[in-house]
Structure 1
Amino acid sequence: MPDAPPPRTDKVSEPRERLLRTATRLFYAEGINGVGVDRVLAEAGVTRATMYRHFPGKEALVVAYLEHEDATIRGLFAAAADAAATADLGPRDLLGLVIDGVADDATRLHTRGCPFINASAEFPDADGPVRQVVRQHRDWFRATLTAIATGAEVADPAATAAALVLLRDAMLVGSYLDGRDVATDFRTTARQVAGLD
Structure 2
Amino acid sequence: MALLDTILQSTVLSVVSNILAQMIAAYQAKTDLFAFDITPITHFIIYTIINVPINVIWQDLLESTFPSSIVEPPTVEKKGDKKVEVKVKTGKGGLNITNTLAKFALDQTVGAAVNIPLFLAVIGLCKGQSVADIVGTVKEDFMPIYLAGAKLWPAVSLISFAAVPVERRVIFGSVAGVAWNIYLSLKASG
Give yes or no for TM over 0.5: no
Larger RCO: 1 or 2 (CA < 8 Å, sep 6+)? 2
TM-score by length of structure 1 reads 0.29
**Greater per-residue strand proportion:** 2
TM-score by length of structure 2 reads 0.30
